[in-house]
């Protein structure tokens, strides 16, 4: 089984969020980039477990520029066999998805895995877009996956519960909590990552359907009103009369 795992970088979850260039660019000053947690903890690690159980290969792919190689090496250290970087700025989900779908089609991948969403743009778009471009079934928000031959059985989140489904591969799967546990790379993995193939590929011509104009910050929260712990009647009254939520 040839598995392709889509990884994107995201700012470390504790990063300060600020903007530059007239609020048109994310301020990268002092920002540490990590692999988007959903991609690393859930998609990549489950892909490796499936490979360990059933054989095959795990390739990671990212649409990004040269500085992203550091994040890609980490994925190789965790255990991916090889990596592909499509050399372009990932500014639009449609653009990113078309690049990945094109590569996946040309190289005969049988399972494409993405994270649930990137924690910077929270778009939840790329997985679905890849599946439509490849005309494949899309299983979104999977929290468990097993494979028997070319049949995958998955558990997915639905509103207020879960469902268990079956799908014939090839397919695209977006991964959420539950799929796997985080794996810390060991020294051997880190050494091996240095010599694993990282292929840089030129992007194909694709238009961008959306563009980011600028960012704004949410209005500052007004100060917290402290309530006497002995007087919960007062809190209830405030929630009713002032906040109007009960």
Ligand X SMILES: Nc1ncnc2c1ncn2[C@@H]1O[C@H](COP(=O)(O)O)[C@@H](O)[C@H]1O
Ligand Y SMILES: Cc1cc2nc3c(=O)[nH]c(=O)nc-3n(C[C@H](O)[C@H](O)[C@H](O)COP(=O)(O)OP(=O)(O)OC[C@H]3O[C@@H](n4cnc5c(N)ncnc54)[C@H](O)[C@@H]3O)c2cc1C
List of residues contacting ligand X (CB under 6 A): 6-8, 36, 38-39, 61-64, 90, 93, 96, 114-115, 117-118, 121, 123-127
Figure out which of the listed residues 77, 127, 175, 193 binds other proteins, where binding follows CB under 8 A: 127
Kindly report the number of other CB atoms within 10 A of residue 95's CB atom.
Answer: 21
Cβ proximity to ligand X, 51 vs 116, nearer residue = 116
Distance from C-alpha of 47 to C-alpha of 27, rounded to nearest angstrom: 33
Q: What residues pair up with 178 in beta bridges, in sequence order?
A: none
Distance from C-alpha of 162 to C-alpha of 236, rounded to nearest angstrom: 34
Contact 156, 141 (CB under 8 A): yes
Could you list the residues that contact ligand Y (CB under 6 A)? 13, 37
Distance from the Cα of residue 157 to its chain's centroid: 16
**How are beta strands 33-35 and 9-11 bridged, if at all?**
antiparallel
Residue 29 sits in the site that holds other proteins (CB under 8 A): no
Cβ proximity to ligand Y, 37 vs 128, nearer residue = 37
Residue 129 sits in the site that holds other proteins (CB under 8 A): yes
Contact 66, 33 (CB under 8 A): no
Residues 6-25 interacting with other proteins (rule: CB under 8 A): 11, 13-14, 17, 19
Structure tokens at 125: 């778009």
Q: In angstroms, what is the minimal distance from the CB of 228 to other proteins? A: 8
Q: How many residues bind other proteins (CB under 8 A)?
A: 79
Residue 149 sits in the site that holds other proteins (CB under 8 A): no
Residues 98-117 interacting with other proteins (rule: CB under 8 A): none
Cβ proximity to other proteins, 69 vs 203, nearer residue = 203
Q: In angstroms, what is the minimal distance from the CB of 200 to ligand X? A: 13
The entry of ligand X, other proteins, ligand Y, none that residue 115 binds, CB within 5 to 8 Å by partner kind: ligand X
Sign of dihedral through CA atoms 26, 70, 88, 79?
negative
> CB-based contacts of 66: which residues, under 8 Å, 6+ apart?
87
Figure out which of the listed residues 6, 125, 175, 198 binds other proteins, where binding follows CB under 8 A: 125
């Amino acid at each position: 089984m040839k598995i392709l795992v889509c990884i994107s970088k995201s700012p470390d979850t504790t990063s300060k969020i600020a903007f530059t260039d007239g609020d048109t660019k994310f301020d990268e000053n002092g920002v540490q980039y990590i692999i988007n947690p959903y991609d690393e903890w859930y998609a990549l690690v489950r892909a490796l477990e499936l490979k360990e159980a059933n054989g095959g290969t795990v390739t990671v792919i990212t649409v990004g520029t040269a500085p992203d190689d550091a994040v890609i090496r980490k994925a190789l250290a965790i255990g991916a066999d090889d990596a592909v970087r499509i050399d372009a700025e990932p500014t639009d989900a449609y653009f990113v998805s078309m690049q990945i779908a094109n590569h996946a089609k040309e190289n005969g991948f049988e399972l494409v895995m993405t994270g649930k969403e990137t924690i910077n743009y929270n778009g939840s778009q790329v997985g679905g877009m890849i599946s439509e471009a490849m005309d494949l079934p899309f299983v979104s928000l999977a929290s468990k996956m097993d494979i028997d031959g070319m049949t995958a059985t998955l558990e997915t989140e639905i509103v207020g519960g879960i469902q268990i489904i079956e799908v014939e591969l090839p397919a695209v799967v977006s991964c959420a909590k539950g799929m796997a546990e985080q794996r810390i790379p060991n020294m051997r993995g880190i050494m091996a990552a240095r010599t694993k193939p990282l292929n840089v590929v030129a992007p194909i011509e694709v238009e961008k359907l959306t563009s980011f104009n600028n960012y704004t910050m949410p209005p500052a929260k007004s100060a917290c009103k402290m309530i006497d712990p002995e007087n919960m009647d007062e809190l209830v009254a405030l929630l009713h009369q002032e906040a109007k939520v009960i």
